[in-house]
Amino acid sequence: MDNKRIYLSLSQQSGFEQEYIQKALETNWLTSGGPNVDDFENKLQNYFSEESFITALNSGTSAIHLALILLGVKAGDEVICQTLTFSASANPVLYQGAIPVFVDSEPDTWNISPEFLEIAIKDRIKKGKKPKAIITVHLYGNPYKVEDIHAIAKRYNIPIIEDSAEALGSSYKGKKCGTFGTFGILSFNGNKIITTSSGGALISNSKESKEKAIFYATQSKDVAVHYQHSEVGYNYRMSNVCAGIGLGQIKMLENNISARRATHFFYKDLFDSIKNVTLFEVLHEDYFSNYWLNAILVEPILEKNINSENLRLAFEKANIECRPLWKPMHLQPIFMEYPYYGNKIAEDLFLKGLCLPSGSNLTKEDKIRIEEVIKTFFDY
């Protein structure tokens, strides 16, 4: 067996990408925006629902930034954000000069805790500042406690930006992730469920919001023949070439979700008999995960040198890439000074957690190599 590197999360091509890119080249449509972008947006819109308006952008991060702008978040405002996430969820809060307020996870879904969310909202209001928005995350594709969280947000009348970057294809009670908040965002980075090489999308629920998003994403040009601007603009629109890759990739969406889910059940079988390992999975059948990344918690056994970092090193020795969970935002040097509400749940998950190879391109041979490392490490 060869020893080529197994990566954590790669997508696979449908073979149609080339055709769409070629068309963009032939028609010399190489700008941001264009026919591929419109087509890609329409295909996504069909995938979601008629009430969802999709704006294709150059990254998921830009989509979060635009959502904050559209919600009127300004310097000095406070924005609540789930602490256990990738830094791209929180960075745009700083772009606006606003203040992130971090909220812990709960142990069932590893996502934002309803209990600490409400504590945080009440305390911020008491301190004189009602949060302007809440950024929630469906971590590794697993939906958060949608009903609890949205009920709290509604009670205090605070809009939600649903970071669905990792959750394209996931749903809660049959409704797709990305459509619960005032805004949802997707990412088409190279490691996500489908890719445009680099790209993202903003999901909104009105044509007006979509038009406003495009306005900001294309340098805020006023209606005039000459270039006139009355607002700060951004260069955030998706390019027609990247959208071509997306059109090829979207043909793979169902396939990629099934492949990632099959990998999840491969891990489930494998870890069933290993007592000190817990596989991250959905709470019950209301939750449907694309299982973008599989993660486990390893309960350390001191005398056997068993812990998540040693497991990662064992994988590394076999040229297999694994990674710790996202380091919680409130522990990051850049975010440490900001308020945090919680009880160290995310910290504990971070200490014991490990993400395992989950790409939709994993082969049978790759899985045999992964299984070998696990069996040897846990000695069964």
Ligand X SMILES: *Cc1c(COP(=O)(O)O)cnc(C)c1O
If the CB atoms of residues 60 and 359 are measured against ligand X, the closer one turns out to be 60
Query: Which of helix, strand or coil describes residue 305?
Result: coil
If the CB atoms of residues 48 and 236 are measured against ligand X, the closer one turns out to be 236
β-strand 175-176 against 294-298: which pairing, if any?
A: unpaired
**CB 61, min distance to ligand X, A:** 3
Per 3-state DSSP, what percentage of the chain is helix, strand, and coil (rounded to 5)? Answer: 40, 15, 45
If the CB atoms of residues 196 and 307 are measured against ligand X, the closer one turns out to be 196
**CB 108, min distance to ligand X, A:** 19
Query: Which of helix, strand or coil describes residue 38?
Result: helix
If the CB atoms of residues 33 and 300 are measured against ligand X, the closer one turns out to be 33
**CB 243, min distance to ligand X, A:** 14
**CB 92, min distance to ligand X, A:** 9
- The answer to whether 149 and 176 are in contact (CB under 8 A) is no
β-strand 200-204 against 277-279: which pairing, if any?
A: unpaired
β-strand 353-356 against 294-298: which pairing, if any?
A: antiparallel
**CB 146, min distance to ligand X, A:** 16
Residues with Cβ < 8 Å from 21, sequence gap 6 or more?
241, 244, 245
Query: Which of helix, strand or coil describes residue 370?
Result: helix
If the CB atoms of residues 166 and 347 are measured against ligand X, the closer one turns out to be 166
CA 243 to the chain's CA centroid: 19
- The answer to whether 159 and 152 are in contact (CB under 8 A) is no
Query: Which of helix, strand or coil describes residue 208?
Result: helix
Q: Nearest to ligand X by Cβ — which residue?
A: 60
**CB 200, min distance to ligand X, A:** 4
Q: Among this protein's residues, is 192 annotated catalytic? A: yes
- Residue type (1 letter), 145: K
Which of 115, 190, 187 has the alpha carbon at shortest distance from 145? 115
- The answer to whether 5 and 320 are in contact (CB under 8 A) is yes
* Residue 324 backbone dihedrals phi, psi, to 5 degrees: -60, 165
If the CB atoms of residues 143 and 369 are measured against ligand X, the closer one turns out to be 143
CA angle 299, 351, 288 (to 5 degrees): 80
Which of 192, 169, 203 has the alpha carbon at shortest distance from 70? 203
List of residues contacting ligand X (CB under 6 A): 59-61, 85-86, 88-89, 137, 163, 165-166, 187, 189, 200
Which are the catalytic amino acids?
192
